[in-house]
Chain A
């Protein structure tokens, strides 16, 4: 499980994916290694020269290795404080380790990579370090959060390992109790299902954020790897850190409730969707057609080729439910359709429906929610 950090904590997406990894590992009796990339080597921050290198795992195969005590293992209480360089331990906050343990990790693997603190984690900077860790651990399954980082790194790692790959999938249990990665494809008309039991090789998957993280774990054992991974010198960051014009839509990817408007919503009624989303504690999304009509900024578009979402509750107002739209919504989401046309195709994809105009229906919903 690759852990993306958000400052000094694991990101919400990483904790959500770690929860999925924990549930899978528990069903298989396997071990979860949470791999954290830490800046190292020639970045002028910390020398790892005194850390011993983990010897290769003996008898590598397609199943995760059981817990063992490699030479670099240190006690959970041992990581240095951020200012403590005396023991040569990396600069990883105790809180991060603790949170990963509680979030489901059996072991936290700290891997030094030649990345500067302000650099984005992409394959060119951390790929070799991650691949090196996988060569040491020989995992049966590598899980990434389905984020921009996961999208850049996971498929290349899969190719490096010769692994099967599935993106944006939900974890299901098959009829034999096997772990199945499932995702909607072809606009929701089909599902692609990859059963872990059917594979004779490792798998790499990305899972959408939004699921509850696992809780109640215990302290994780810490491993440190110094693998001498090099960065890809052909890729050099030369500027940036400017705000992405679509950044205000990022909240959609974490939202547990989304109210999405389509081209069937009048411009004058759009604020009602915003009120409904606020009343439900959610975010407002839009179909491509709604964005093209100027009802919402492009950053809010949900659809194939735009943004993928994985809410628990997905309320669709005035949208047909096209394949290009619903294909980007997690199959786990419960869809509520609101439309004036009782024959609208969206009612064939939804679990719940309400027939009526947005102007008429949404104020009544707000009243029921105590938000009018």
Chain B
């Protein structure tokens, strides 16, 4: 079984378009998971943590795209968890559904931390790789092997990796618009499966106690709004702007011959 970890973009609660409810990395992960599930003839299960009003939209999107099942974990004890608290819940869910291949986005667009995938891998004892661009399956007897391409640090490298594994998908490259939608949108706008119901779990069903993850509250740091909009100091001319930037040592001083002229 292949699991896909999804989380709705929280800063756009009223958004409805597919590309506004999931970040680019997660859309890449969803596309890759659905394609891999199809190629390997394995079930794909979408997993999200959070309340129905927030997460059911992305789970329904996954089901429309072809996911076999969708599971949402919601519980009062889940708010304000850090990356490791969230990973504990996801890891328990992955064990509960029995998935051996887990795909997720490399990092969320909102927090950009990129920690949940590797942390889940640590908790389920799986191998992991980040910044994955593509995945193919490889048959090797009874063992589940994947060939993955990792694009990072200026190079493109290929790895063979054995399940259990967590793969964190990088976003697809932006391409100049040609009038067609991206692959994910095409996948998820074309219903493949009749939308089935979303299974709801709580911590108790996962064998987790709220107090077991409670110590992971408050360790993500405090969230503070950036104070009100400011106004740029608008320069009156190009010369004025360069003078201000030089005064603040942001641009090197003029050469002597420039000043003389």
Q: Do A and B come from one complex?
A: yes
Chain A residues within 8 Å of B, Cβ to Cβ: 120, 122-124, 147-149, 151-152, 155-156, 158-160, 162, 164-168, 181, 183-195, 198-199, 201, 232, 234-247, 250, 280, 288, 291-294, 298, 301, 304-306, 308, 312-313, 323-324, 327-328, 334-337, 342, 347-355, 361, 364-365, 367-370
B66 CB-CB contact with A under 8 Å:
no
- Closest A residue to B158 using CB positions: A239
Contacting A at CB under 8 A, from B98-149, are 106-107, 109-119, 121-123, 127-131, 147, 149
Asked if B48 lies at the interface with its beta carbon under 8 angstroms from chain A, I say no
Out of B127, B129, B221, name the residue touching A181 (CB < 8 Å). B221
Interface size on B, residues (CB 8 A): 81
Q: Which of B222-261 contact A (CB under 8 A)?
A: 222-226, 229-235, 237-239, 241-242, 244-245, 248, 250-251, 254-255, 258
B115 and A167 contacting across the interface, CB-CB below 8 Å: yes
Closest to A324 in B: B109
- 0/1 per residue, B15-45, Cβ < 8 Å to A? 0000000011100000000000000000000
| Chain A neighbourhood of B254, CB < 8 A | 370
Instruction: Identify 18 residue pairs between A and B in the complex whose beta-carbon atoms are under 8 Å apart, listed by A's number.
Output: A124-B129, A151-B114, A152-B129, A155-B115, A155-B116, A155-B117, A156-B122, A184-B226, A185-B112, A194-B220, A240-B149, A242-B156, A246-B173, A292-B176, A306-B24, A347-B232, A351-B232, A351-B233
Q: Measuring CB to CB, which residues of chain B are less than 8 angstroms from any residue of chain A?
A: 10-11, 23-25, 82-84, 87, 106-107, 109-119, 121-123, 127-131, 147, 149-162, 165, 171, 173-177, 218-226, 229-235, 237-239, 241-242, 244-245, 248, 250-251, 254-255, 258
Contact A155 B174 (CB under 8 A): no
Q: Provided the pairs A347-B232, A370-B258 are in contact, do residues A245 and B226 lie with their beta carbons within 8 angstroms?
A: no
Cα–Cα distance between A348 and B232 once the two chains are bound (Å):
6
Residues of A within 8 A of B230 (CB): 348-349
| Chain B residues within 8 Å of A348, by CB | 229-232
Contacts of B157 in A (CB 8 A): 120, 237, 239-242
Residues of B close to A232: CB separation below 8 A: 127
Closest to B237 in A: A364
Q: A120 to chain B: which residues have CB within 8 Å? A: 150, 152-153, 155, 157
Other A-B pairs, 19, CB within 8 Å; known A298-B175, A352-B241: A123-B128, A158-B119, A167-B113, A167-B114, A189-B226, A192-B222, A194-B219, A234-B127, A234-B165, A244-B152, A244-B153, A244-B155, A288-B174, A292-B175, A304-B109, A323-B11, A348-B230, A353-B233, A365-B238
